[in-house]
Chain A
Amino acid sequence: MFVAGIDIGSVAAKAVILDAQTLSEAAFAVIPSGWNTREAGEQVLSAVCQQADITHSSLSHIVGTGYGRIALPWADKVVTEITCHARGAAHLFPQTGMVLDIGGQDSKAISIDSKGNVLDFIMNDKCAAGTGRFLQMLSGLLGMTLEELSSAAEQGTPVAISSMCAVFAETEIIGLLAQGTPPSHIAAGVFTAIARRMRTLFGRIPLRGECTFTGGLASSTAFARRLSQELSVAVNVPPQPQITGALGAALIAAKLTTTPH
């Protein structure tokens, strides 16, 4: 019996299919969210079904999460990404006590118990400076993909980005480029700025257990390393950090197969 978790974020739509008994992963898919959340949901679901070589109707339960979670008419249940990231991270790294997630439009620190239940969380969603959107802006300005930014940042010496606001930071970066500052230094500077933003969230919740870093930005090893340095703790990074929320949703779906709701 198979179950699915679908996570519709502001940047990407993610899906995971699990075997409900063994909880082993049968397939996953990631596509851009685009403008139409509902369509993104349909597409990512059919993509993941194709990957797993099963039909939509053979999925026993589907759980939706992410900003687009309400636009999934066929979901059996919708759960917030906070709960889903917690479940996903605890499943991958059972010693996790804190989940750090940097998404497209917000970042969060989530404190969890050994079962993956959320104990506390804080979000930064009023300001783009600590989120994936900040990097999108940078990648637009420098004409680089996330991977290119990552390797550039590894080589660069971070320049100070003093603006905490993404809009002002953009102006600042344009100024730096005009002065001839190498893009690699700027990329390194922005990585450091985002990691520092994360540190303020992180500092507001006491750390117990290990720290697991999820969300699209975690796939950049350069960034994960910088974050770990900033926080002075080791961070676990899942092999596919972007799909942690969808995985958590699928784990909740697997639970639905055993508990009547």
Chain B
Amino acid sequence: MTFATLQRIKDVTDRNVLNLQEAKAAGKHVVGEYCIYSPMELAIAAGAIPVSLCGTKNDSIPAAEEILPRTLCPLIKSSFGFALQDSCPYLSAADVIVADTTCDGKKKMFELLAQKKPLFLLQLPQIQNTDAVTYWREQYAKLWQFYEQQFNTRITEDDLRNAIHLMNRFRSALKRVFDTSCSKPAPLTGMEIMECGFRLSFMSDKEHAIQLLNDLATELEAAPASQEKKRAPRILLTGVPTGLGSHKVIELLEKSGASVVCIDNCTAYKKTTLIIDEHKDPLTALAERYLDTPCAVMSQNPHRYTVLQELAQRFSVDGIVDLTWQGCQTYEVESYSVKNFVRETLHLPFLHIVTDYSPADTEQLNVRIEAFLEMLA
């Protein structure tokens, strides 16, 4: 990490677990979430600390494979393995879990997880229209009641409005940082973008996180252009979530000379798009905005393409890489349509990578990635 604020972020977030445990000891509740469709705003309105439990590490997978099929997506296996081994401090700290009926594998895994902790399952509609929004709003209303019962508290509409305002500020600050990569060359590497977003998402103190993000954006906006990255091909990575431990494709791309300028997935850029309308009924605004999130579990998933087009242009990318985890049917099938869209409408080179969290296929991935970058040269 080359920028001073990045180092500060690293130092501060190294204490994430400690801070969470202290807050818990002081009586705060912790809500564990697995998917971007679970609204952090409601948890914050309930006075709790939301943390993401999405599994990004390979270590916990062998334990999960004793129960789950080996062919399942690594994200699900990793998440479940942590629960089996009780080896994730965030999961241990969580008083309740909020999950969503997204893909089939996750849904069924949550049934098993529900035996370990109180779990609220949001029934996610898989279509984006007004009926679905009405239904989704009711789901959020039920979650609201669930928090009130579990935490023995009352959540007012003002609590929710305040939480929305806080998260809007957080997301805008995150967007400001990520958008610095629109400039040529990008000041941050893709690895830095990923790591910074990942670490900050585990910070309990959102005000502090907003401060750090804005400081970083200010530092990046003022930084002189790096000469070495000037000729690096600019890559947009789209597809499944990535985090520390499941970052190998970002790392391989950059080791081969690319600059990953935008990461269009739930652990990075998609977070910045959830800016909630503060003038509407808060629960409706929340339901509307969240349900609009493009994920391959939706059918159809039209926003995936509009977002890709917008990002490809704004970040002036030279090529698009679609990452899908092995065993993820929704993203894998959708990749075919994404490929056609990228080629025929965006007229950009496209590479689809299917892999898991293990380093076993590094050599083969290198060949694909390097050949793709040679194609762009």
Contacts and interface: CB of A to CB of B under 8 A. Distances in A.
Same complex for A and B? Answer yes
B364 interface: yes
A216 B364 CA distance: 19
B375 A118 contact: yes
A160 to B, nearest CB: 26
Contacts of A82: 367, 371, 374
Contacts of B371: 80, 82-83, 118, 121
B367 A123 contact: yes
Nearest to B352: A122
Contacts of B370: 80
A120 B371 CA distance: 9
B11 interface: no
Contact of A80 (B349, B361, B374): B374
B368 A123 contact: yes
Contacts of B361: 125-126
B66 interface: no
Interface residues of B, number: 10
Interface string B354-377: 000000010110011011001100
Interface in A182-202: none
28 contacts: A67-B363, A67-B367, A79-B374, A80-B367, A80-B370, A80-B371, A80-B374, A81-B367, A82-B367, A82-B371, A82-B374, A83-B371, A83-B375, A106-B364, A117-B375, A118-B371, A118-B374, A118-B375, A119-B375, A120-B349, A121-B371, A123-B364, A123-B367, A123-B368, A125-B361, A125-B364, A125-B367, A126-B361
A117 B367 CA distance: 16
Nearest to A83: B374
By Cβ-Cβ distance, the 10 closest A-B pairs, closest first, are: A82-B371, A80-B371, A125-B364, A83-B374, A118-B375, A80-B370, A80-B367, A83-B371, A80-B374, A121-B371
A65 B363 CA distance: 13
A80 B366 CA distance: 9
A67 B349 CA distance: 24
A215 B375 CA distance: 21
Interface string B69-109: 00000000000000000000000000000000000000000
Most buried by B among A67, A80, A126: A80
Interface string A108-128: 000000000111110101100
Interface string B299-324: 00000000000000000000000000
A125 B363 CA distance: 10
A121 B364 CA distance: 13
A20 to B, nearest CB: 21
A16 B361 CA distance: 29
Most buried by A among B363, B371, B374, B375: B371
Contacts of A106: 364
Most buried by A among B349, B361, B363, B370: B370
A54 B368 CA distance: 35
B231 to A, nearest CB: 12
Given A106-B364, A118-B374, 12 more contacts: A67-B367, A79-B374, A80-B371, A82-B367, A82-B374, A117-B375, A118-B375, A120-B349, A121-B371, A123-B367, A125-B361, A125-B364
Interface in A133-185: none
A93 to B, nearest CB: 20
Interface in A39-54: none
A108 B324 CA distance: 20
Interface in A57-86: 67, 79-83
Nearest to A105: B364
Interface string A18-48: 0000000000000000000000000000000
Contacts of A126: 361, 364
A119 B376 CA distance: 9
Contacts of A119: 375
A207 B367 CA distance: 23
Interface in B151-210: none
Contacts of B363: 67
